[in-house]
């Protein structure tokens, strides 16, 4: 594979910081598959699918660095130290993270620790849940008729609270489509902030849990009802949440539902008199 695609050699003492995508092994990059095949140590997070770890060499050391069973996750510093230690031991270290390592994945922090320790590294981007996970639910994050921008937000600060460094009002007013990571816990508060900012409580929302895995579930709801519906349906984490008119496109683009449940797809999901969020009507007319 390496020669065929001109992939780089994985040298001893290097760390490859790679994204594993949202779950489906088919969404791995060739670089990530190559890294898995060559690594002596794979340091992985909770969101990395077992089918992906199964691609590692049988002799590879698998090091779990995530949160499991409600126990606190290892400190970021400890994970970085472990990477440095393994690399200094002459190992080829694959640091494997769910989605993309640089999207709400603390990949930058780990990479900076490697820089400080003078450990050579490579970054392998991955398919992030906010685009790829939604695509598996039949939702394009942008669509010409509905939105010319999209905002990705974390619903969880380092302290576990609703992030306070964001201008929620401005985002609610200014971003036609909003994609929320890690937002299940605070969904009620977040939705009410957007409604206060003028978003319609009836605006469509999709909550996609375990996207691209066999456990994928999609809940379609509205901004006003999202938190209650998520609780009632007992939707599990990890889930990616999309707010905006693009959610309606699912009626036409739920290719996975068509494939697995024989869902009939509507070629005109927005309807002839479709309308973007009234707040953005002027911008597109
Ligand atoms: N680096 C990751 C994000 C890590 S933050 C990425 O690029 O996707 C963890 C959050 O990502 C979860 O709380 C959830 O919101 C989202 N997420 C990751 N994998 C997911 C999946 N398979 N299905 C739904 N959401 C997912």
What local confidence, expressed as pLDDT, does residue 274 receive?
55
pLDDT band at 75 (very low <50, low <70, confident <90, very high): confident
Contact assessment for residue 79 and residue 114, using Cβ atoms and an 8 Å cutoff: no
> Cα of 107 to ligand 1 centre, how many Å?
14
Tell whether the model's pLDDT for residue 113 goes beyond 90.
yes
CA-wise closest residue to 34 among 64, 7, 61:
7
Task: Decide whether any atom of ligand 1 lies within 6 Å of the 208 Cβ.
Answer: yes
Task: Decide whether any atom of ligand 1 lies within 6 Å of the 39 Cβ.
Answer: no
For the stretch 135-165, pLDDT in tens is 999 999 999 999 999 999 999 998 999 999 9
Tell whether the model's pLDDT for residue 282 goes beyond 90.
no
What local confidence, expressed as pLDDT, does residue 68 receive?
61
Q: Please state at what angle helix 226-233 crosses helix 187-196, rounded to 10 degrees.
A: 160
**b/e per residue, 133-142, with b = 16+ CB within 10 A?**
bbbbbbbbbe
Whether 45 is a known active-site residue: answer yes
Tell whether the model's pLDDT for residue 10 goes beyond 50.
yes
Q: What percent of the chain has pLDDT over 70?
A: 93
pLDDT band at 71 (very low <50, low <70, confident <90, very high): low
Measured from the CA of 97, which atom of ligand 1 is nearest? Answer: 1
Q: How many residues does the chain have?
A: 285
Ligand 1, atom 11, residue with closest C-alpha? 181
CA-wise closest residue to 126 among 107, 95, 152, 100:
100
Whether 1 is a known active-site residue: answer no
Task: Decide whether any atom of ligand 1 lies within 6 Å of the 98 Cβ.
Answer: yes
Token duo for residue 285? 């007319």
pLDDT band at 273 (very low <50, low <70, confident <90, very high): low
What local confidence, expressed as pLDDT, does residue 67 receive?
66
The whole-angstrom separation of Cα 127 and Cα 86 is 26
Ordered by where they begin, the domains of the chain are 2-127 (3.40.1010.10), 130-284 (3.30.950.10)
- Adjacent-strand bridge partners of 121: 15
Average pLDDT over residues 208-233: 98
Contact assessment for residue 110 and residue 80, using Cβ atoms and an 8 Å cutoff: yes
What local confidence, expressed as pLDDT, does residue 285 receive?
45
Whether 182 is a known active-site residue: answer yes
Ligand 1, atom 15, residue with closest C-alpha? 181
Q: What is the mean pLDDT of the chain?
A: 94
Average pLDDT over residues 30-39: 98
The whole-angstrom separation of Cα 42 and Cα 2 is 19
Residue in 11, 57, 67, 78 annotated catalytic: 67
Tell whether the model's pLDDT for residue 29 goes beyond 50.
yes
The whole-angstrom separation of Cα 29 and Cα 233 is 34
- Adjacent-strand bridge partners of 242: 179, 206
Measured from the CA of 212, which atom of ligand 1 is nearest? Answer: 22
The whole-angstrom separation of Cα 73 and Cα 71 is 6
For the stretch 190-202, pLDDT in tens is 999 999 999 999 9
Measured from the CA of 47, which atom of ligand 1 is nearest? Answer: 19
For the stretch 90-112, pLDDT in tens is 999 999 999 999 999 999 999 99
State the alpha helices, DSSP H only, in 160-225.
168-174, 187-196
Residue 252 φ/ψ, nearest 5 degrees: -105, -25
Task: Count CB neighbours of 220 within 10 A.
Answer: 18
């Amino acid at each position: 594979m390496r020669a065929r695609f001109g992939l780089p050699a994985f040298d001893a003492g290097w760390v490859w910081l790679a994204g594993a995508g949202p779950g489906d092994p088919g969404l791995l990059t060739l670089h990530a598959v190559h890294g898995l095949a060559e690594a002596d140590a794979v340091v992985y997070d909770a969101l990395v699918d077992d089918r992906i770890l199964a691609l590692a060499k049988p002799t590879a050391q698998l090091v779990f660095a995530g949160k499991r069973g409600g126990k606190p996750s290892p400190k970021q510093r400890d994970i970085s130290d472990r990477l440095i230690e393994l690399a200094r031991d002459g190992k080829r270290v694959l640091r494997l993270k769910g989605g993309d390592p640089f999207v709400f994945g603390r990949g930058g922090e780990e990479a900076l620790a490697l820089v400080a320790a003078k450990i050579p590294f490579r970054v392998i981007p991955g398919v992030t849940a906010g685009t790829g996970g939604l695509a598996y639910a039949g939702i394009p994050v942008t669509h010409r008729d509905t939105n010319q921008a999209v905002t990705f937000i974390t619903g969880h600060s380092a302290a576990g609270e609703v992030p306070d460094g964001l201008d929620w009002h401005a985002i609610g007013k200014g971003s036609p489509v909003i994609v929320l990571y890690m937002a299940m816990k605070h969904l009620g508060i977040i939705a009410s902030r957007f409604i206060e900012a003028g978003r319609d409580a009836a605006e469509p929302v999709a909550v996609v849990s375990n996207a691209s895995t066999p456990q994928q579930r999609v809940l379609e709801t509205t901004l006003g009802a999202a938190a209650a519906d998520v609780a009632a349906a007992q939707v599990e984490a990890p889930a990616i949440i999309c707010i905006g008119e693009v959610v309606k496109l699912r009626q036409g683009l739920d290719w996975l539902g068509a494939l697995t449940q024989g869902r009939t797809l509507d070629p005109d999901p927005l309807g002839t008199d479709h309308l973007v969020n009234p707040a953005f009507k002027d911008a597109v007319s």
